[in-house]
Structure 1
Amino acid sequence: MKKLLLFSLVSGFAFQACTQGIVGQEDQATVTAGNPVIQGWYADPEGVIFGKKYWIYPTYSAPYEEQVFFDAFSSPDLVNWTKHSHILDTTNVKWANRAVWAPAIVEKDGKYYLFFGANDIQSDNEKGGIGVAVADNPAGPFVDYLGKPLIDKFHNGAQPIDQFVFKDKDGQYYIIYGGWRHCNIAKLNDDFTGFIPFEDGTTFKEITPEGYVEGPFMFLKDGKYYFMWSEGGWGGPNYSVAYAIADSPLGPFKRIDKVLQQDPEVATGAGHHSVIHVPGEDLWYMVYHRRPLGETAANHRVTSIDRMYFDENGYIKPVKITKEGVAKHPLK
């Protein structure tokens, strides 16, 4: 009886540790991260690899007046995560006072540039928009790079939020962004202080596909440009992710299908994602937020990771959201 009780306790601890993203079964061939992968209310996660570590940069999911900082999380293997607190807060961004969210990050020439939305502006007459912060380390501390927003106006009807920075195969960096059901793309200049106009003289081109709401993301695979975005309302259960494929980062993008959505047996409100591709391997991960079952508060969102697969024609298969999460995978 004592042996049976001990086995039950150990098994229970192993399961709990697994679901909390803590390694508790090192003797087994497969160790999974468990979802959510990080503890706390976090949303809009940007997943990226720097060196031999995975990183997640999320929104701190809280009322706008409390969304005044960013935390980051790093892991060598997708299972063990380290929290880096307050890598940026509004004390270092004088023009931002609330609603800092949806960070995007790139490394260039030894510097790390963190792009973020702030203040949730509703018109061109308000202060705020998309800003840039810079640091020498992916864990920060980050400081305001420009002393003002990079984008502070509505162009083509797009609210200046939800920015993603995409590096094309020719080395050109683009910023892709937009709320209010409009999405723009623009060429960033070499030092990220402004923009390079397109050949026709315009700076912001609209690339909005059918169904687009917010949360754009782009990646390259086999020479094709995969453009992804969130649909539905972020505060509800039907938030989701759809995608398109084109031969250019400018599109045109024709919606193909949804690839991420709620599973009423696992979680609701699955959306606003990013994608991690492990270099040199056919391993793709979708990093996204979702709402635990039973939670109805809009800001009660958690960050999760699940595998993403492609079929033989290069189309993305629907992502199965899980409680178990992904297997342990150290970077080479």
Structure 2
Amino acid sequence: MKKKVMAGIISASILLQSGMIPGMELKPLAAGNTAPRETVVEKSTLGNPILGFDDENNLTYGGDPSVLVDGDTVYIYVGHDVAQNESYVMPNYLCYSTQDMENWKYEGVMMDMTDVSWADNNSAWAGQVMKHNDKYYMYFCSWDNTAWGKQSIGVAVSDSPTGPFQDIGYSMIKGTVTEPETSTWNDIDPTAWIETDENGEEHIYLSWGNGLLYLCELNQDMISVKDQNQDGKITMGDDIWQQTIEGMDYTYTEAPYLYRQQDQGGNYYGPYYLFFALNWREGLAYCTTDDLTDGKWDFGGLLMPPNATANTNHPAVFDFKGKTYFIYHNGSLPHGSGFRRSVCVEEFSIREDGGIDLIQETATGLTGKISRIYDYSGVPVAHENFVNSWNDSDYPISASLLSSLSAEIEDASWEIVPGKADKTKDSYISIESYNKPGLYLSAKDEEVVLTQDTYGTTQEADNMTFRTLEGFAGYGVTLESVAKPGYYLTCKEGKLVLQSNPEEKQCTFVIDTDSDKKPEEQAKLSAVRVLKTKRTYLKGDTLNTDDLQITACYSDGSRKKVTGYSTNAGSLDMKTAGEKPLKVSYTHQGVTVSADVRILVEEKPSISQEVPKPAQPQKTVPKKDAAYTSGGLKYKVTKSAAKNGTVSVTGTTKKNPTSIKIPAEIKINGYTFKVTGIQSKAFYKKTKIKNITIGKNVKSIGKNAFKNINKKAVFKIPSFRYGTVKKLLTAKTGYEKKTMKLKKIS
């Protein structure tokens, strides 16, 4: 069922005088009749989270979701969270399935960690299932007792998408292999991708990483890493490649997830997407590349700020029946947290230019019902507007409630659900925030706040439950606190409180659930959301606004990314330090809305006059395996020495050059190094390369070094090295005898 948000805010006089509030019946109470009578309001029983149950409908937590679409069925896999304290305890992996994205089936335990000989019994960390040649392969990670207590990547195999999955008996990628390392859990969160290239060759890629991001290619057996240079060893640089995300002011954290768009015929097109978690507390973002083997990704933007109930998040993206879905987790179930997680879903789309707008985390998801709540004046009830903090110390959240005509529509939208205190009682409801899922209206003495069901206690459930009564003012509903019987939700001077003897109209509300928008009503511009990547500058810097992303929000809940906005950037004083409010304004159909972005201008670092400068800068001696760039090429040091050093070419800094010149030698930090080799895949898929000049010292050329460059490429080789280099250029390096040419040069 498609959700609809009530359009606009209707004035109190029209609402009350004409009876336009849906569900309103003007029934004055009979004289002397003060006994409240229960009534029932419409509730939402679906929405987010979509999972959170087992075969006996017990509360069940699970996080780090991944998705497999197999025919007409969607499968979601999660690590089963069972911790009661704030730690990760995950004994197994669970599977759920659906064929309509509305009704979900618990498929049970797909693999138990006690069956994995090399791993910790309670560490079923993130995994993803891929189908290949009618078998199913689950790539997962866990603490590895064969790798000195480091996280490692494993793989398990099954004949069914629901398992049971059988581990192959050892970790496929040990935490001791990847370098550099910044922690014992760098090797987590695997994601896989299978695709056939334009030459009909199938490639299977695996990416993973926390703090650092890695990618490799797998063999056709799906359970081993491809030895690119065929040296009998799986090593960093040759077979496993570290990835970088360029243009990002945030910090890559973990949870990579690979995706690419498909046309109606199932053909892949456009860039590759990598969705991932960034910073801490974690938000979600994406980056793109045109070549998975390039090693560099372009940052796309922030997609979802930190959520209100869990310190981690984990994305999964997939297409199903013509729609694209975004899966993530939060802690919105009772006693939820980053260690007891819940899986949620939103539908989204990718713009024609390949960009993706911010994705709103919601309580209603795909199938829940949105409600609006109006006070006696027809003013909507809302929570205060706030942005979820990146700091763990700011949680759990406790926000104030109010009635306001200027509230943003998302802040004034709710999901009415069965009462937490007793879901079998029809007159009991709980009121969950639409855009801060997991936060509920809660009694706090005689206050009412928006907060989380942090500990899952009976008292918290009572605090978040209200009994619905016929409205004391003769229409609508009055909400009595279950935690404080005889106290009623009351709107007093624009604030929500609990009172025992309120005025009849002040404790009367109208709830409008999933209402239709009248044809004559038009969506009005209500707010703008502003995202700016760079917000910190030094004194005297020019304030750049090219990185602004502006989303217009409308009264019917719709949004769109817009241009044509204005800012006060030109009037901000960038010559003095301090906070500066960058104001962004947008006008549509005569309505102008604005939002401020905090810009911080800092003092330039001072250079102490007391510390003498050294007579000559200290030069670092390049060490073995260190990476450098020079003249548009990338190099790896193969022999480290002040004299007689050597390097090997690993690639190009240009995205798709037309010519390449391999020099005989280069200088690094003042030291001369001979260029003696070209590594595997150095120029792989650089399709525009037509001319390659190879220096006199090159003694080795790796596998696929020139594969898929221009088919009529010309290799220019020094005359006295012609025979040697000709032997090095074989089909394995990508050289094609029939179309490519060799040319002698002096």
Q: Smaller-chain TM-score range?
A: 0.7 to 0.9
What displacement does 1:160 show?
Answer: 1.6
Q: Compare relative contact order (CA 8 Å, sep 6+) and give the higher one, 1 or 2.
A: 1
Answer whether contact 1:174 1:186 (CA < 8 A) is retained: yes
Distance 1:304 1:270 in 2: 13
Q: Deviations over 1:169-202 (max 9, x none)?
A: 42311110111x1011000001123111346971
Residue in structure 2 matched with residue 253 of structure 1 by the alignment: 297
Q: Secondary structure at the match of 1:190?
A: coil
- 1:79 matched to 2:102? The reply is yes
Mark the runs of 5 or more structure 1 residues left unpaired by the alignment.
Answer: 19-33
Label 1:296 to 1:248 Cα distance change in 2 as closer, same or farther (>3 A): same
Q: Which residue of 2 aligns with 1:26?
A: none
Task: Name the structure 2 match of 1:67.
Answer: 90
Q: Look up the match of 2:242.
A: 206
Letter in 1 for 2:192: V
* C-alpha distance 117-263 of structure 1, shift in aligned 2 (>3 A): closer
What are the equivalent positions in structure 2 for 1:19-38 lying under 5 Å apart?
Answer: 34-38=47-51
- Count of aligned pairs between the two proteins: 295
What is the TM-score when the length of structure 2 is the normalising length?
0.37
Separation in 2, partners of 1:227, 1:127: 25
1:228 equivalent in structure 2: 275
Shift of residue 297, structure 1, vs aligned partner: 4.1
Amino acid at match of 2:112: D
1 CA distance for matches of 2:93 and 2:208? 19
Q: What amino acid maps onto 2:170 in structure 1?
A: K
What letter matches 1:310 in structure 2? I
Q: Distance in 2 between matches of 1:293 and 1:232?
A: 24
Give the secondary-structure state (helix, strand or coil) at the position aligned to 2:257.
strand
Is 1:193 aligned to residue 223 of structure 2? yes
CA gap of 1:270–1:324, structure 2 versus 1, over 3 A, is farther
**Structure 1, residues 301-331: CA drift from partner, whole Å, max 9, x if none?**
2110011222231101111111111159xxx
User: Residue 268 and residue 296 in structure 1: after superposition, are their counterparts in 2 closer, same or farther (change >3 A)?
Assistant: same
- Asked if residue 165 in structure 1 is aligned to residue 192 in structure 2, the reply is yes
Measured after TM superposition, the shift of residue 7 of structure 1 is 8.0
Q: For 1:128 and 1:262, how far apart are their aligned partners in 2?
A: 25
After TM superposition, the structure 1 = structure 2 runs for residues 70-149 of structure 1, keeping only pairs within 5 Å, are 70-97=93-120, 98-119=122-143, 124-126=147-149, 129-144=152-167, 146-149=168-171
| Aligned residues of 2:310 and 2:337 also touching (Cα < 8 A) | no
Superposed displacement of residue 136, structure 1: 0.7
Q: Which protein is bigger by CA-based radius of gyration?
A: 2
Q: Taking every aligned residue pair, what percent have the same amino acid on both sides?
A: 24
Cα 1:6–1:313, aligned 2, differ >3 Å: closer, same or farther? farther
Match for 1:8 among 40, 51, 61?
Answer: 40
Counterpart Cα distance in 2 of 1:65 and 1:317: 32
Distance 1:294 1:90 in 2: 26
TM-score (norm 1): 0.80
| C-alpha contact 2:258 2:274 (8 A) present in aligned 1 | yes
RMSD: 2.7
Query: Compared with structure 1, are the counterparts of its residues 48 and 225 closer, same or farther at alpha carbon in structure 2 (3 Å cutoff)?
Result: same
| 1:51-86 deviations in Å (ceiling 9; x for gaps) | 111110011124467412111000111111111222
Structure-1 residue corresponding to 2:286:
243
For 1:30, the equivalent position in structure 2 comes to: none
Q: Output the CA distance in 2 between the equivalents of 1:261 and 1:100.
A: 26
Q: Against the structure 1 CA distance between its residues 7 and 276, is the aligned structure 2 distance closer, same or farther, given a 3 Å change threshold?
A: farther
- State the alpha-carbon separation in 2 of the partners of residues 231 and 186 from structure 1: 22
Structure 1 letter corresponding to 2:270: G
